[in-house]
Structure 1
Amino acid sequence: MQAAIIAIGNELLSGLFPETNSQYLITELKQIGIRVSSVSIVNDEISSILYELDSVHPDVRYVFITGGLGPTHDDVTKAAAVKYFNTTLEFNNAVFERIKNLFLNRGRQVDEISKNQAMLPIKAGIIPNSIGTASGMKFDHSGKSYYFMPGVPDEMKMMFRDYILKELNELSDQKLISEMIHTTGMRESEIYKNIHYWIAGHPGIDVSLLPKCPIVDIMLTIRDGREGAEYIQS
């Protein structure tokens, strides 16, 4: 199974803030046999988000979207989702109670801006956020599952770990197996010349050459259970 990741936020394109959520998701998804085939970063524009959603490869089964779920003017991901999935917003009382309790536990009252965080798409499955005001959302559409999560790393990780990962684990019973081979003293082109026939003879194994002068690493990856897994496990 393949996945795509879309990270949303002007700050991620400013060069000042590194995008770290995708690396976390790639690592976690790999453990349950889901391969990430693309990662993209887009700005806080509804048209850009819609374009990226439309551009997801047909073979992708899961799409993970992070960022843009906050309460301010530049948080437009929810509006983009409403448009893309042809739905409308409604006030979710259960989510509002959770937000209100979150504020009360911090000795504060809910302001009007934060109250708007309880306005959520009717068609979405709501993913709870126990440490922030931005709820996650799940949509099933045209054979794909779309998971929208906050861009704040702690909130995204909590949501993925406590809710989404449990659901994905029930759907995937295979893992990706990887092995790294370290070489030195040979150029990348020389190594490829020596192994390209082997690569062609094992189409089920992904082979990546990773040059880091003077070392060239060879990474082998295969889904557990496929023919050829013994080459990596042995």
Structure 2
Amino acid sequence: MSIWVRISDFVSGTAGQALGALVEQVRTVFEGDPETRARVAFSVAMIALSAKMAKADGVVTTSEVDAFREIFEIPDEEAKRVASLYNLAKQDVAGYQSYAAQLAGLCGSGQPDCPMLRDILDGLFHIAKADGVIHQKELEFLADVAAIFAISDAEFDRIRARHVDAGDADPWRVLGIAPGTPFDEARQRYRELVRDNHPDTMAARGVPAEFHAIAHERVAAINAAWDVVEPELKRA
């Protein structure tokens, strides 16, 4: 069953509640089905935080909404109900920090640099840059969310390098290795990054198949960075 059907049924069954209450409902409604709970939690996290972030620079642009739809492969018949959750998040007066904390507890492993929370942050960066630039307010938002998610400074810098610097990104930062790293160690790091973004690996940590598009750009950036550093490492 599509994750959007599950989310649509969930939203319909909890209509009229504030977003914060909906987040807590995910924990209990799907308690007996941890796999579905992980998929719905991830989806709600992305919807809620992307809606909040879209207002961070004071305006919700068409390009940001389009980027949201790029990440979320939403069937036309489910778009209206998903949009209602997105709009609920935009209109809710509660601060994004409270949602980020709730969602960190719902989606996270309790350990720093939790893979699913990194996936959420990566998706938020994708949306933030949709209008061609990540505004300072958006960057502050992302840094705040990363701190709440217990994303390390090094990991945040690596994610930021892929998105903010775009084609000019430092390949060493993208891969999270330093110049002069032994070739075998660097290659192992590269292979780990590619493996972590394989659809099977993402599915195992609760990322719905409908969202695997967020990894395409990430893997392309990782491969491009390796293409640059590999010859230099071999020469060294």
Higher helix residue share: 2
TM-score, length basis structure 2: 0.30
TM-score, reference length from structure 1: 0.30
- Tell which structure's C-alpha radius of gyration is larger: 1
Greater strand share, structure number: 1
Q: Higher relative contact order at CA 8 Å, sep ≥6: structure 1 or structure 2?
A: 2
